[in-house]
Every structure is written in structure tokens, then in C-alpha cells.
Structure 1
Amino acid sequence: MGLENLELLTDATLEQKKAIEGQLLFFRGWYHFMLMQYFGGLPYIDEVMNASGQLTRPRLSYHECADKAAADFRRAADLLPIDWDKTSISVITNGNNQRRINKVMALAYLGKNYLWAASPLMNYESTGSREYNREYAQKAADTFGELLDLVERGATQYELVSYDKIGEVFYSYGQNGRMPGLTEVIFRGPEWDPWQNTRYGLALQYVPTPYHPDGGGNNLSPCANYVNNYGMANGLPLDDPQSGWDKTHPWKDRDPRFYNDIVFDGCLITDNYQNPLPNIELFTSGASRDINTASRTGYALKKFLHPTCNRYDDGWGYSPQFTIGLSYLRLADVYLMYAEAVAQATGTPSGKVSACQLSALDAVNKIRERAGVEGVNAKFTGNLDSFMSELRRERAVELSYEGHRFNDLRRWMLIDKPEYADKTSVEFTRSGDFDPAHPENNAVSGYHEEVIVTRSYTEKHYWMPLKKSDCNMSAEFKQNPGW
């Protein structure tokens, strides 16, 4: 409605009208994209519908729908400023424009839209091929290359934060409720309340169990086979014979992101030494392994928490103003999507696009270097399949628990495979002397994994079901396969 009536707006400058048009186009593309990635191709609503008319629009293929979204994202990117603070139309809101749609956001979602269209699931829906679509991968690579060229040249307000500040990408603490994200977050998600201090807010869902303030509530226990994605500091996956990982010291010399994100046995989880259990017990039958109130898997998550956010230090209340916020899209994700798009478009990890000097391998290693992890080992760079296995693992680690995994596994057509459908716990006992100051060095015995649940996914779960009432509106609006 806004786009169809934009010319009726007369009390505005040309710059203001372009900015309004760009934002409207972005959101038209974005809302369609967000639905498409779960349901597949849909009717693309690009005109005002007649409320009394028949709703007989057929579903488009994924590629047809993605092309229309791409046109909206591209036009939005061409109309919008990089930084609203540097325009003449946002003087009143200078310094508070982080959530305004801008050119960088539009380019990022244009690239993501193309990469999703290139992915095996979306390509299969549109063409019948279960491989990547190179044409769309090239479009994604070119778009991300255009964006990263701006970033690498310092022409935007975005850059990767240093890893010692990575927590502030997800939360702020004692900063008057400041919105998290720093320079890395591109598109922020919703915020439920300023301090996230109710048990229904995001914050308490990520409290390391069992230190919820009332001993119950939402407990999040990462699955052991997911945590296995966190490889070694030398950059190798755990199962590589040269990685140096062994089952008697499973927490030693791991990827630094493992220590930042994951609570493992023996971790100090409170600064309050009057707490009866400052070092968490996650061994089999340990005090924090109660299946109903604590960890079911032998791990807990701390990625989105300030260290004092536990029931003994009380670091999440109104006074410290702990504010958590998970973004829809941050810059690290863009680098990894660029790597995937370039590798698939060129067929090699060393591939580049003309707009950006980074190769696919360079982009992945940039994220690893930031975290203090060695780059992708040469044994994984000789062919595309080997490189993709490391790229998929890198996305699992860098973007863990940020809401990307389900769609990644679906678009790669992997969600129904046993290694992803099975969810495991880690079982072990402590062995030898226990070092409470350096739990990563502690020895264990009997280390093994057990399957605790299996998700019964099949190919029909590649797409979500549509509401029956929607499918019954007209013969042209088809249900998804298998539902």
C-alpha cells in the first residue's frame, strides 16, 4: 500500500521519498524470504489485493519467488544510505539509527536470498537437481563480494569485533540497558523487555543449569554430538587422527570458542564462593546431571551470558541491567555465506569474485583467526567436498545457538540424516586429581556418548506444512509434499 501510494506523499524531499521506498521494498522482500525459507515458493504479493476478489494466485517455484525478492532487495540497496547518521534526513535520530534499514542490510539479504536459492533443497524444489545451482551461487557471491568490499575498505560502520569483546555482540551488562551488537550486528532481532529480567525473557533460557533463580524453568543443554563440532585449537576436527584429541582429556586444547560458549565438567560457574558447588559437576550422575532440573547431555551453554548470571551472583536483575539480544544477521555470518557462495560458484576454495579480494578460504580463516583458531588445514582445501565439510562445521561453531542450524541443515538436505537426527549425551567419570582452577586439563575415564533422543525427520520435513485453511482457499495454492 505504501509503495502504490508513495507518489501521493508531497510533503517530503526526493531523498526522503527514496529512503521510504527503499525501506518498504526491503521489508517486502524480507517478509517473503523469511516465509519462503520454511515453506518454499509462495505467491509474491507485489500489489494491493482486492479484499472482495478471489484469492487464486498460484504458488511460484522457489526460484521464481527468490527472483522477485531479489529485485526488491536490489532496488532497496540502490536507494538506501549506508549510514543514516551521515544523511541530511535523520538529524533528530543521529546516534540511534542502528535498527534503520540501510544499504548494507539490503545487500546482505540479497546475497542470502541468492545463496538460499542456490542451495540443494531450494534448487531441488525448482529444478529437480539436488546439487547447488551455480548460477544463483554466483549471484550470491557477487552480492556478498560487493558488500564485503565496502566493509574491507572501511566504507561502512560495520566490522568484526575483537574476540575479547564477543560477548557484547550478544549482551550488555551494567551499561544502562545498552543494545548489544557493537559493530558486528547488521540486522537486530526483537527485544522483549529492556532488561530481559522475567523468567519468560530470552536471558534466563541460557542460564547454565541448574543455577536458575528458582531452581526450575528453561534449561538448555547442548547435545554432545553438536558440541563435537568444536574442534581443536589447531583447527582440526576432533575425529581427525592428527588433531591431538583423546578421550582421557576431552576438554584439553580445544577451539577457544568451546571455552567461551560451553559449560563442561568442572567449570567455575559462580564468583560467589559461599555457593556449595562453584565448580559444576557434569560427569555421569554428577550433581548437575539431573534429567529434570539440570543437564541431560553433560553440557550447558554460556555463550549469551555474563559470567555473573547465576542464582548466587544474581547478575541478571534490574540493577546490573543485563540485556540480551540475538540478531537475525551479523557480519561473521556474511563472511561464511560469502565463502560458501564463492566456493560453490567457482568450484574451488581458492575462488574469488572480482569485487572482493578474499577467497572462500580467506573468508573462513578470517573468522577463525579472530577467534584464535588455526585456519582450515591444507588436507581440506584440495577439493570442494572436503572444504564444504569444514565450512559446515565452521557455521555450526561460529553461529551456534543463534537460530541458523535448522535452516542450514534443511537447505543442505541433511536434516533427516542419522548423524543429525540423533541427539547424544556424553558419559564419563572423573579420573585422577581434580584441578578446579584449570578444568580443561582434568582427566576422565569411560568417556563415551549415548543416544538420548532421535528426531524422526523424513524428506517431508524439508518443508514446513501450510495451514489447511490456506490450501483450501483455491486449487492453485498447493500443500507441501507429504503433508
Structure 2
Amino acid sequence: MKKYIVLLAATLLLGVQSCNDDFLERAPETEISKENFFNTAEDLEIYINSLYDFEGFDIYIDDRSTDNAATTGMTEIKNMMLGSPSPATVLDGWNPITDWAQLRKVNYFLDNFGKAQVDDATKNNYEGLARFFRAKFYMEKVKRYSDVPWYDRTLTSTDPDLYKARDPRATVVDHIFEDYAFAWEHVKDDPRLGTVDKWVVGAYYARHALHEGTYRKYHDELSLQGTADKYLQIASDVAKEIMANGGFSLYSTGNPMEDYGKLFVSTDLSGNPEVIFSRFTQNDLLNSGWGPWMFGNYESNPGKNLLQTYLMTDGTPYTNQANYETKQFVEEFQDRDPRLYQTYAYPGWELINSSTYAQGPGIYVQQLTKNFSGYHQTKGFVNDTDVTVQNSVDIPVLRFAEVLLTYAEANAELGVLTQGDLDVSINALRDRAGMPHLTMTPTPDPVLQAQYPNVSGGMADVLREIRRERRVELALEGFRFDDLMRWHAGKLIENELEGLYFPGLGKYDLTGDGVEDIILISDSESIPAEDDKEENSLGVKLIYYRVGPDGSDASFYLSNGTSGTCVTDPDRGEFAEPKYYYRPVPQSEVVLNPNLKQIFGW
């Protein structure tokens, strides 16, 4: 039986009214008030547990609208790039009732917890936890808006700061990292599963220090390049401490073809040495909320560019091969990094849980349809029809693998990376995958150079390879968008996400057994009746598709009409720099508080 931290947030519901001018003054209380609460360690823990706000299975579709995955649905960045966004139309993120509620709850705790009858170490632990959640909250606001008003107390209706201007990014980030530093020093190492402890604090501390350091380094519009190394050093130091004393290690049983993938479909991560923090679930007690929407012809589908990032088994880039752009599905998966087979459905993979997939169970033959890549994601996909299993899958919110990647990248950006650093970080990940080691002098990859032209210096090539490793190891876990933003690589989102390549009309093997499974015909032809369909050598009727150019009356689109790659988003729009690295304050909030000035062209 798994252990759980029971979240008693229901006793701490927010007493919030729908009024835009007092969104930070409302006390988060109903039956419980500061007069009869905040007295014991139990009170403090109940309240802190109500602040838990970690993401669930949505992490597996959060790469939508990046160069990792396309979507047939709408996302904010997709709408912006294809439309004419303005403060009147980009509205998410500043809602006074929902988007600032977490800060209100944290500050209410910090204003009142001091009266608890507990020792100083316990009090500092809970103060550190609250400040961790405030730092985490504000870091997301800084990522989105850069300059935001900093509030570190519960406001009253007459407080003049209700209508204050945005504080500069540098000021807000200073406060964020003061909170992180306090939490890192005082939050305890808690052995209870599902609990935020010192190492959870450290993982976010290092993550956000890396984000801020690289963001400042690559975004000259901030004029903060001179302070970037301060945060990169924090990222390196904190990651090193976690590596040395956190007691974590990469999960490995010595099976590189399975170990990585098991992390994302396990019904029990409680003893997994790689998991720093997980959302633990159990059927009929706390259901996972898992759904099969990352597989099949749903909104999200991975693309060719990510697939081409994975190395060959000998450690050389896939893109070094002659004619790599026109390799077909079966050939694309030959002799590749084992993590590819645990992220994408590959030729010969068996589909068992076909609840959302029209092709049905059996050896995978992908269904091809308009605006999809033809690739399907298996990372996070529970290939099991047992609902009890589906409802009991744990979510690895924080993995030790990320800490290793943070350490390597921070040291490379600082220019202090050594082969020893690579061996304990990047090469540990490659050992788990059975891949050759990375050295300090990799052969320059022209594809990576084109993707990241603003990387320079003596460690440029090894830094680009670290970025490759990060993209592969964390693929389709929701990291890619933030990475592109901090690296000043938003323009990569403009490139159409391509799918499977077909050299022309005719029959194709998609399972790797040498027997054709599908047949492509021109969109000017008609698919024959079932009885008239041709059979392959196994006596199975071929699946027919009418193909044509984007916008035609076809089963799916190919880039050259009757040949080329599957078309997903033929027009991705424009990523306006630096404007789209930020979001505007919604116009309705500026009307209420004219001190909230727009920045970076908004």
C-alpha cells in the first residue's frame, strides 16, 4: 500500500469575491480564521498541504506548439503567431480570482503562522515551505510577464499597493531567490512520500536559477547579461549538492530498452531512486486522472524534428546520414538511441489499449489523417486496458535526471565544465540508455549549429550537445517551451512540424516485417469497396489512403501533393521577437490600475 499525504485543502477554501480591485486583500478563510488556527504544527502542515499545486498528466501534452509536437487544437502561442494579439485578446495569467489566489494563500500563511506554539526549527521549516511556494508562484509570473508587482503580505482594502506599478524583473527575482535561499536552508529532509522537502525545494531552486541565468544571458533586451552568472552558479551549486547528498540515482535495471519508459507508466514510484517528487495515485482512493489523449489522432502529435534529434546507437547524429530527410518510417527507427523506442510508437510495437484508436489493437499500423504527423507518442501512454492500472499510475513530477542536466548545462554556460562533470551527468544518462559517452570535444553538428546560432565560445559545441541530451531525455514532459524561451530560440516554433515521409504513391510497410500494410492513391481516385481492396501476402486487406496537397479532398496531406512529408501546420505564423517572449497585462486590469504599463511592444 502506498503512503499518501492527505491534502486537507477543503478546510481552507478561499473566501474570495469576484472583485478585481481587491484580489490580494481577501483572507483565505471560511470556518477557519487566524484567531482559532495557526496554533500547532498540525495546523501549519494542513495549511501548507493546501498549497500543493503540482501538474498531473498534462505534462505529457505540454510540448504542443513547440518544435517537439504539433497540435490540431488551439494554444496561446499558436493563436498569437497566427493572429493579431493584443492586451484585449491575450487574457490568461492575470485573473484576480484564480491566477493570484496561490499568492494570497501563501502570504496569509506567512502573516499568521508565527503565533504557532512550535520550536524554531519547526517554524523555520514551515516558513521555508511557504516561501518555496511563493518563489515557485512568482517564477511562473516572471516567465510570463517579466516585470510584475511584488507582494509579500496580505493587503487590506485601503493599502495603496493594491494599485502599485509593476516592479522590475531584477527586483522581483531578487525576492524570489531570497525565498528560495531561505527554503533551501531551513526546509527539512522529509522521508514521507509525496511531501515537499529539502530536495524538492532544491530541484526547483536549481531549475529556476538555470532558467533565469540563461534567460539573462541570451535576452539582451533585458540588459541584465552581466548578472547571468550569479544564477548559473546557484544552479550549479544546488544541483551539485543534490547529486552529492540527496541520495538519488538514475533508475536502471540494466535494461536500456525498458528502464527509461517504465518511469512514466509505473503504478508505484514510491521506491524509485530517481524520483525526487511524485504525485502518488491509487484506484478509487486518489485516481491518476490519466487519459489516452496523447496517443492516436488526438490534438497532440510528435514530429520528425524531435525524432531526428535522437542519436544513432554509435553516438553519431542521425542527421549525418545521407538523405536522412527522405528516410521512411521503418528505416528511421533502425539503430537509434533506445529512448526513442520508449517515446515514439515504433515499427512492430504492439498496441493493447486501443480505446481511443480506430485502427484497433495489434501490431501498430498508424492511422494517417489530416494535419497529423503520422507519429504517435507512447511516453506516458498506459498500454493496458485495466482501468485499475490506468487510475493508479504515478506521475514523476521531479526526476534526478533533470538535476544532472541542470548541472551540466550550468557549468557549460559558466565555462567551467570538465570531462568529470560530463561523466557524472550527461554520461550517466547515456549509460542508462546504453549510449556512447559525450566528450568535451564533440564533432560540430551543423544541424545543432543552425538551431542555436547564438551559442558561442570555446564550449559551444559541447553545450549544444547538452541541449540535445536535454531535449531527448525530457522529451514530451513539458520542458521544451520554456527551454526555447530562455535560450532565445522562439523562432524555431515557426518551422512547420513535419511528419512521415512518403516518396510517392504506392504500397508501404509500416510494421517492419517487409509486408505492405497501406496503399496511397491519388486524391483524384476513389477508395474501392471493401470486397475489392487488395490483400497483402499475409491475406490482410491493405489500408487505402487518398493523398494530395494541403486543402485538397484527401485522407491526409503530403507536402508535395503525392509525395513528401505529412502536413501538420503548414502555416505556423510568425514569432515576433522580443515581444512574444512575454505576455501583456490584460487590458481590463490596466483600466482598473493605470500604473500597470505594458512592456516590449505590447
Q: Same fold (TM over 0.5)?
A: yes
Aligned pair 1:331/2:400, yes or no?
Answer: yes
Q: Is the contact between residue 281 and residue 287 of structure 2 (CA under 8 Å) also seen in structure 1?
A: no
Q: What is the letter of the counterpart of residue 336 of structure 2?
A: R
CA distance in 2, matches of 1:118, 1:331: 20
Of the three residues 344, 367, 373, the one matched with 1:262 is 344
The structure having more radius of gyration, on CA atoms, is 2
Q: What is the letter of the counterpart of residue 464 of structure 2?
A: S
Local SS of the residue matching 1:171: coil
1:289-368 superposed matches below 5 A: 289-291=368-370, 296-308=372-384, 314-315=385-386, 317-318=387-388, 320-345=389-414, 347=415, 349-350=417-418, 358-360=420-422, 362-368=424-430
Distance apart, 1:63 and its partner CA: 3.0
Q: What is the letter of the counterpart of residue 264 of structure 1?
A: Y
Local SS of the residue matching 2:316: coil
Going from structure 1 to structure 2, the CA distance change for 1:190 and 1:455 (only over 3 Å counts) comes to farther
Distance apart, 1:434 and its partner CA: 5.6
Q: Is the contact between residue 266 and residue 393 of structure 2 (CA under 8 Å) also seen in structure 1?
A: yes
Q: Is the contact between residue 132 and residue 179 of structure 2 (CA under 8 Å) also seen in structure 1?
A: yes
Give CA-to-partner distance per residue, 1:75-131, whole Å, 9 cap, x none.
11111122x23xxxxxxxxxxx22222111122222222211111357637742679
Q: What is the letter of the counterpart of residue 22 of structure 1?
A: G
Q: Is the contact between residue 171 and residue 323 of structure 1 (CA under 8 Å) also seen in structure 2?
A: no
Going from structure 1 to structure 2, the CA distance change for 1:63 and 1:108 (only over 3 Å counts) comes to farther
1:98-137 superposed matches below 5 A: 98-120=193-215, 124=219, 127-128=222-223, 133-137=228-232
Q: What is the letter of the counterpart of residue 13 of structure 1?
A: D
Local SS of the residue matching 1:323: coil
Q: Which residue of structure 1 aligns with residue 24 of structure 2?
A: none
Q: Which residue of structure 2 aligns with residue 279 of structure 1?
A: 363
Of the three residues 169, 173, 182, the one matched with 2:272 is 182
Q: Which residue of structure 1 aligns with residue 447 of structure 2?
A: none
Local SS of the residue matching 2:501: strand
Aligned pair 1:159/2:243, yes or no?
Answer: no
Of the three residues 205, 223, 239, the one matched with 2:293 is 205
1:64-79 superposed matches below 5 A: 64-79=171-186
Q: What is the letter of the counterpart of residue 149 of structure 1?
A: A
Calculate percent identity across the aligned residue pairs. 24
Going from structure 1 to structure 2, the CA distance change for 1:271 and 1:327 (only over 3 Å counts) comes to closer
Give CA-to-partner distance per residue, 1:399-448, whole Å, 9 cap, x none.
11111111110111111236x63211122279999695768xx9x99995
Going from structure 1 to structure 2, the CA distance change for 1:407 and 1:271 (only over 3 Å counts) comes to closer
Q: What is the letter of the counterpart of residue 305 of structure 1?
A: F
Q: Is the contact between residue 114 and residue 140 of structure 1 (CA under 8 Å) also seen in structure 2?
A: yes
Q: Which residue of structure 1 aligns with residue 116 of structure 2?
A: 9
Aligned pair 1:149/2:268, yes or no?
Answer: no
Give CA-to-partner distance per residue, 1:29-69, whole Å, 9 cap, x none.
11111222222232222122223323233323333222211
Q: TM-score, normalised by structure 1?
A: 0.76
Aligned pair 1:482/2:601, yes or no?
Answer: yes
Q: Which residue of structure 2 aligns with residue 61 of structure 1?
A: 168
Q: TM-score, normalised by structure 2?
A: 0.62
Q: Which residue of structure 2 aligns with residue 169 of structure 1?
A: 263
Q: Which residue of structure 1 aligns with residue 532 of structure 2?
A: none
Of the three residues 124, 149, 157, the one matched with 1:18 is 124
Aligned pair 1:400/2:475, yes or no?
Answer: yes
CA distance in 2, matches of 1:350, 1:267: 39
CA distance in 2, matches of 1:110, 1:140: 7
Distance apart, 1:387 and its partner CA: 1.6
CA distance in 1, matches of 2:409, 2:167: 26
Going from structure 1 to structure 2, the CA distance change for 1:29 and 1:438 (only over 3 Å counts) comes to farther
Local SS of the residue matching 1:221: strand
CA distance in 2, matches of 1:243, 1:362: 35
Local SS of the residue matching 1:379: coil
Give CA-to-partner distance per residue, 1:248-287, whole Å, 9 cap, x none.
6221001100111101344332399xx87622234xxxxx
Aligned pairs, how many?
423
Aligned pair 1:220/2:300, yes or no?
Answer: yes
CA distance in 1, matches of 2:501, 2:271: 36
Distance apart, 1:161 and its partner CA: 0.9
Distance apart, 1:297 and its partner CA: 0.6
Mean CA deviation greater in 238-247 or 59-68: 238-247
Mean CA deviation greater in 241-250 or 112-121: 241-250
Going from structure 1 to structure 2, the CA distance change for 1:24 and 1:388 (only over 3 Å counts) comes to same
Q: Which residue of structure 1 aligns with residue 460 of structure 2?
A: 385
Question: Unaligned 5+ residue runs, structure 1?
Answer: 86-96, 211-217, 283-287, 309-313, 352-357
Going from structure 1 to structure 2, the CA distance change for 1:425 and 1:196 (only over 3 Å counts) comes to farther
Q: What is the letter of the counterpart of residue 124 of structure 1?
A: H
Going from structure 1 to structure 2, the CA distance change for 1:245 and 1:297 (only over 3 Å counts) comes to closer
Q: Is the contact between residue 365 and residue 510 of structure 2 (CA under 8 Å) also seen in structure 1?
A: no
Distance apart, 1:70 and its partner CA: 1.0
CA distance in 2, matches of 1:243, 1:79: 56
Q: Which residue of structure 2 aligns with residue 45 of structure 1?
A: 151
Q: Is the contact between residue 336 and residue 395 of structure 1 (CA under 8 Å) also seen in structure 2?
A: yes
Local SS of the residue matching 2:177: helix
Distance apart, 1:365 and its partner CA: 1.4
The two structures, once aligned, show a CA RMSD in angstroms of 3.7
Going from structure 1 to structure 2, the CA distance change for 1:186 and 1:63 (only over 3 Å counts) comes to farther
Q: Which residue of structure 1 aligns with residue 580 of structure 2?
A: 461
Mean CA deviation greater in 458-467 or 245-254: 245-254
Local SS of the residue matching 1:366: helix
Q: Which residue of structure 2 aligns with residue 371 of structure 1?
A: 433
CA distance in 2, matches of 1:73, 1:341: 18
CA distance in 2, matches of 1:180, 1:167: 16
CA distance in 1, matches of 2:233, 2:600: 29
